[in-house]
Amino acid sequence: MALDPIGAIQGAGNGLGVQGVSGTGYAGGTGNATGTAGAAGGNGFATALTGAVDNLQSLQSTSNQLAVSAVTGNLDDIHKATIAATRAQITLELVATVRNKGVDAFNEIMRMQA
């Protein structure tokens, strides 16, 4: 299971701002693409997802501040607000997808044990 595309997102000039997710390997939080560190760490996925949610909240807060500045006329460059809103939206979609895939994987493991 390769997670290289997620690392590529982070490496692209911090394009999405998903600092808490990428490069952790999701499974163990060590950048291990094989996922073997997750068994040893135990809560690497939860830690990575928590960091991603914290970063998402920061991006949404920045987006909201820039949107208010744009509406009140205090923002000279409207592109900053648009980029911040898009960045927050894409990060939300990414975090939700990762969470959903994690839940699906957990449910599949539970089905195998039954």
What distance in Å separates the CA atoms of residue 93 and residue 52, rounded to the nearest whole number? 11
Q: How confident is the model at residue 48 (pLDDT cuts 50, 70, 90)?
A: confident
5 versus 81: the higher-pLDDT residue is 81
Indicate the pTM of the whole model: 0.59
C-alpha dist (Å) from residue 74 to 14, 61, 65, 71, 101: 26, 17, 11, 8, 41
**How much is the pLDDT for 62?**
95
What distance in Å separates the CA atoms of residue 69 and residue 9, rounded to the nearest whole number? 28
pLDDT for 49 beyond 60: yes
112 versus 114: the higher-pLDDT residue is 112
20 versus 96: the higher-pLDDT residue is 96
Q: For 57-68, how does the pLDDT look when each residue is reduced to its tens digit (9 = 90+)?
A: 999 999 999 999
What distance in Å separates the CA atoms of residue 44 and residue 24, rounded to the nearest whole number? 8
pLDDT for 8 beyond 80: no
Domain residue ranges of the chain, discontinuous segments joined by +: 4-113
**How much is the pLDDT for 101?**
95
Q: For 79-109, how does the pLDDT look when each residue is reduced to its tens digit (9 = 90+)?
A: 999 999 999 999 999 999 999 999 999 999 9
39 versus 95: the higher-pLDDT residue is 95
